[in-house]
Chain A
Amino acid sequence: MSFRGKVAAVGTGLAGIGEAPGLTQIDLTVIAAKQALDEAGLGFGDVDGLFAANLQNIFAPLNVGEYLGIRPKLSEGTQIGGSSPVAHLIWAALALDAGLIDTALICYGSTQRTVAGKLLSPSTSEPLIYEQPFGPRYPISSYALNASRHMYEYGTTREQLASVAISARQWAAKNPDAFMRGPLSVDDVLGARMVADPLTVRDCCLVTDGAGAVVLTRSDRARDLVKKPVYLLGAAMAHWHRQISQMPDLTVTCASETGPRAFEMAKLGPADMDVLELYDAFTINTIMFLEDLGFFAKGEAAGFIAEGGIAPGGSLPVNTNGGGLSCVHPGMYGIFTVIEAIQQIRSQCGERQIDGAKTAVSHGNGGHFSSQVTAIWGDGETL
């Protein structure tokens, strides 16, 4: 089964990146959705497939659909953590290709910063009874355990972890939407407040508000709507565990499976990718995803990052919007990996634009390195 090139993104929207006082998460979601539909020359009445999941309401598709006054033929709200909106691409592609729907709206929004002021974690409503007695601070403590193991097995250093945050910040400095754009040094990261060793607060994603939306349609129709559709060339998802104590190997995520499967569908490989958008909830994520997706052998990504390889001017542009570390992280970051990938291929990224970007990876992560979803995008030349 392949849906290579069958569907394309025709619009993206962003709203409330940073802080959005006075608005609800559905308000923000709808603003982003309107922008995405406008870009495609479509209206809310055209949306017959609605894809939404978030941490603030469990009936997300019902709430968004009701607010908009639309009557979707198909809705999807599977919650597998921050990767969910990336996973929704798969279901949207299948439903579009099968002719069940004609226009898919994938949307996400959160007011985590103004409402909660901290990372929202579903684990508070879903106790993990064998971990809870030991006082985990989800999700940070889980990723700290991964980092400790990666340091033990591969000699990864705190300075190398810090270089992930610095690379993200250098990209954020080129993105007027990014929440944190000021200079950041290795010493700043290492000297920041320790949260869960070896991760300081600057190894951790932001706590922001924000919303994003993507509109997809079948490729033949996409070409009638916009000058430059961005084609979904491949996508794959996997999950191997829920809680960190059940992760088979703390240094290997199931991105090691979703990467190869997505690339196989795309008939492309890591060397063909122009820009990468990887879910960087914590600095260790970027390192492990570059390894697991096949860009580096195990243990070899961190040194490359420390030498500036993924920062502006480096040979492998990663998280060009500034990522979850410096641009936006409203609870679930997945949709922003999708939006930035699409906008790079559509050459909409201003100062941070990668010249001639024709291909991109969006990689979503959910839970505690639990669910992984990889999507490969390309312009018309890649079909």
Chain B
Amino acid sequence: MNHPLPEGPDARYAEHLAAGRLCVQRCKGCERHIFYPRLLCPHCHGEDLDWVGVSGKGTVYATTVIRRRPEQGPPYNLCLVELDEGFRMPSRVEGVEPETVRVGMAVTARITQQDGADIVVFDPS
């Protein structure tokens, strides 16, 4: 029998962001948080996942500055943030010069809009 389909996890994540909530999945089996959204836990392969709100507090795990030709615009930050709940998100730190973003820097998540979509960026804490 054809399997009944669940709601798509990407859409669910986007719905939470649109409502102003940073929510990710947490596995009921191993209690680990999961990012990006998916249909099973990549740590224990459990399928029973909750959507939970997270603090948005984290630290910069790795960082770079993307350089461009001047006519293409100024350099910008690209980083990976490790959230206090133990998962990582690709993002950027805003509000400071990209060169000053450091590994280990404390940061806080903020939902913002870009190209018509909600994304999560970080500010220094």
Nearest A-chain residue to B63, judged by Cβ? A148
Chain A: which residue is nearest B13 at the CB level? Answer: A130
Task: Verify B104–A152 contact, CB threshold 8 A.
Answer: yes
Residues of B that sit less than 8 Å from A by CB: 10, 35-36, 61-67, 76, 78-80, 88-92, 99, 103-104, 114-115, 117, 119
- Tell me, rounded to whole Å, the shortest Cβ–Cβ distance linking A250 to chain B: 5
With A134-B90, A193-B67: A141-B114 Cβ-Cβ less than 8 Å: no
Q: Which of A115-147 contact B (CB under 8 A)?
A: 129-131, 133-137, 141, 144-146
Q: How far is the CB of A282 from chain B (nearest CB, A)?
A: 12
Q: Is A134 touching B78 in the complex (CB atoms < 8 A)?
A: yes
Given contacts A129-B10, A136-B90, A198-B64, 18 further A-B contacts (CB under 8 A): A130-B90, A133-B119, A134-B90, A135-B76, A136-B66, A145-B63, A145-B80, A149-B61, A151-B103, A194-B67, A195-B67, A196-B78, A197-B99, A243-B90, A245-B80, A245-B88, A245-B89, A245-B90
A152 to B63, CA, bound (A): 10
**Which of B64, B103, B114 is close to A152, meaning CB atoms less than 8 Å apart?**
B103
B110 to chain A, nearest CB (A): 14
**In whole Å, how far is B105's beta carbon from the nearest beta carbon of chain A?**
11
Contact flags A183-215 to B (C-beta < 8 A → 1, else 0): 000000000011111100000000000000000
Complex CA gap A245/B89 in Å reads 7
* Residue contact A197 to B80, C-beta cutoff 8 Å: no
Q: Kindly provide the distance from the CB of A247 to the nearest chain B CB, expressed in whole angstroms.
A: 9
A216 interface hit (Cβ, 8 Å): no
Kindly list chain B residues whose C-beta atoms are within 8 Å of the C-beta of A137. 66
Q: Which residues of A contact B62 (CB under 8 A)?
A: 145-146, 148-149, 152, 250
Contact B64 A141 (CB under 8 A): yes
| CB <8 Å contact, A145 and B119 | no
Q: Can you pick out 28 interface pairs between chain A and chain B where the beta carbons lie within 8 Å of each other?
A: A130-B36, A130-B89, A130-B90, A131-B90, A133-B119, A134-B78, A134-B90, A134-B92, A136-B66, A136-B78, A137-B66, A145-B62, A145-B78, A145-B80, A148-B62, A148-B63, A148-B64, A149-B61, A152-B103, A194-B67, A196-B64, A196-B65, A196-B66, A197-B99, A244-B90, A245-B88, A245-B90, A246-B88
What residues of chain A lie closer than 8 Å to B117, measured between beta carbons? 133
- Complex Cα gap A338–B115 (Å): 44
Whether B90 pairs with A197 at a CB distance below 8 angstroms is: no
Q: How far is the CA of A133 from the CA of B62 in the complex (A)?
A: 17
Q: Which residues of A contact B88 (CB under 8 A)?
A: 245-246
Q: Using an 8 Å CB-CB cutoff, how does the interface string of A242-270 with B read, 1 for contact, 0 for none?
A: 01111000100000000000000000000
Kindly provide the distance from the CB of B106 to the nearest chain A CB, expressed in whole angstroms: 15
* Chain B residues, Cβ within 8 Å of A134: 78, 90-92, 119
Q: In the complex, what's the smallest C-beta–C-beta distance from A195 to chain B, in angstroms?
A: 6
Contacts of A244 on B, CB cut-off 8 Å? 80, 90
Per-position 1/0 for A57-76, Cβ under 8 A of B: 00000000000000000000
Point out the residues of chain A lying under 8 angstroms from B92, CB to CB.
Answer: 134
Could you tell me the distance between the alpha carbons of A195 and B92 in the complex, rounded to whole angstroms?
17
Query: Contact partner of B64 among A145, A193, A243, CB < 8 A?
Result: A145
Set of chain A residues within 8 Å of B114, measured between Cβ atoms: 133
Contact B64 A197 (CB under 8 A): yes
Residues of B within 8 A of A193 (CB): 67
Closest 5 CB pairs of A and B: A144-B64, A152-B103, A145-B62, A245-B90, A197-B65
